[in-house]
Amino acid sequence: MLKHYFKILILIVGLFEILNAKAMVDCRVVTGGFITTCNPYGKKLHHIKEVAYDVDRKKLIIEKTLPKVEKKHHLKVISVAQMIEKYVKVERPVRFKGSDSKHLKIKIIHSPPKQKIDKQKSLKEKIHYADYTVVKGDSLSRIAQKLNLKVKQLTKLNGIKKSTTLRIGKKLKVPYTQKMVNALSSASYTVESGDTLLSIAKMFKLSAKDIVTFNHIKDATTIRPGKLLKLPLPYVLAKMEAKQRKEDNKGLGNNLDINAFGTHKLRVTATAYTSHGNQTDKTPFLAAWNNRLRPGMKIIAVSRDLLTRFGMRNGTKVRISGLRGYYRVRDKMNKRYRKRIDIYMGLDLRRALRWGRRSVVIYW
């Protein structure tokens, strides 16, 4: 009878120990199941008591608290079943529907490669073509200059050769709208609703200031729809300069303002200069006779023979053929030059280069 009770007691003690051991988990065997955390000490061993003996006392109980264990980040382990569910999709073909699993179809799920989008092709606009009618005096080079194109473009678009003779009334295909062709060929533009001087200048690659000056516009802030603007296109300006040069050569110019000014008239070579160190001396803004130069001033430098032989002096008022306004003599050139003037262009080096070297008539 005692044996029977003793066995029951041992069984109860064993169960009690098993229940207490659940809190003590060995981190080395945590592989799955319902246990998600690992505590190497267990709840029971967070507080311990240490029994020590002293000389005067039989025993001394010291309580200690174990430090908290730092959590370590572990890699997540994915089982094969989870991997299959995520990356593999099992499909059953229609013709094998209702059959066994031997005919299952496996499809690997993957993202399709990204297609490269050609932005340049999508941004390209459709090119509009229009017809240009050949007029008297036209040639391929003149038409190309008039429409701001190259002769090679015209010949390629129209399937003709460079030496082809153009007949009056012949139509040539050009890469513009008909509105643009009409404006470029006539060098004029009719203002439409919503147009501004800046938008018109940008359309024809001109300066708004040049359009205002060319059309003698007093109030540049408002332009009414229907107003006809003359365009100072390069071929128009070149034609005007050629006409003026021809009149100067004949000496019978129709410009009474220039011919009526002064009592002297002389043909000279005109160049341009700026206030840069490579074009002047160490004092680029200081001219002869201690005259101070500022960008925007209408002044010229003259050769020494114009001062000694032709009677010019500091401050002489001069008109130059092809240029508007009056210029003042405020500087003199090197002794080696004869019958020559140098027009001051401020700091605009590009304008000076465009001017280059020209033959003009001056009046003073």
Residue pair 305/335 in contact by the 8 Å Cβ criterion: no
Please report, for residues 150, 185, 204, 219, 266, the alpha-carbon distance to residue 227 in angstroms, rounded to integers and kept in the order given.
31, 18, 17, 13, 40
Q: Kindly indicate the confidence band of residue 342, based on its pLDDT and cuts at 50, 70 and 90.
A: very high
In whole angstroms, give the CA distance from residue 5 to residue 311: 148
Q: According to the model, what pLDDT value does residue 256 have?
A: 42
Please report, for residues 156, 218, 279, 347, the alpha-carbon distance to residue 192 in angstroms, rounded to integers and kept in the order given.
33, 19, 46, 37
Q: According to the model, what pLDDT value does residue 126 have?
A: 64
pLDDT of 254 higher than 60: no
Domains of the chain, with CATH numbers?
130-235 (3.10.350.10), 245-363 (2.40.40.10)
pTM of the model: 0.38
pLDDT of 164 higher than 80: yes
Please report, for residues 21, 70, 201, the alpha-carbon distance to residue 15 in angstroms, rounded to integers and kept in the order given.
10, 31, 99
In whole angstroms, give the CA distance from residue 122 to residue 92: 42
Of 50-54, 163-167, 356-360, which range is least confident?
Answer: 50-54
CA 222 to chain centre: 30
Count Cα atoms within 13 angstroms, Cβ side, for 241.
13
Query: What is the residue whose two structure tokens read 């001396």?
Result: 281
CA 98 to chain centre: 64
As a residue count, the chain comes to 364
Give per-residue burial for 159-189: e unless 16+ CB within 10 Å, then b: eeeeeeeeeeebebebebeeebbebbbebeb
Residue pair 323/348 in contact by the 8 Å Cβ criterion: no
In whole angstroms, give the CA distance from residue 125 to residue 118: 14
Q: Kindly indicate the confidence band of residue 106, based on its pLDDT and cuts at 50, 70 and 90.
A: low
> Which structure tokens are listed for 265?
């008239």
Q: How many CB atoms lie within 10 A of CB 88?
A: 11
Residue pair 285/332 in contact by the 8 Å Cβ criterion: no
Residue pLDDT, tens place only, 37-66: 555 555 555 566 666 666 666 666 666 666
Q: Which residue in 175, 223, 177 sits closest to 198, CA to CA? A: 223
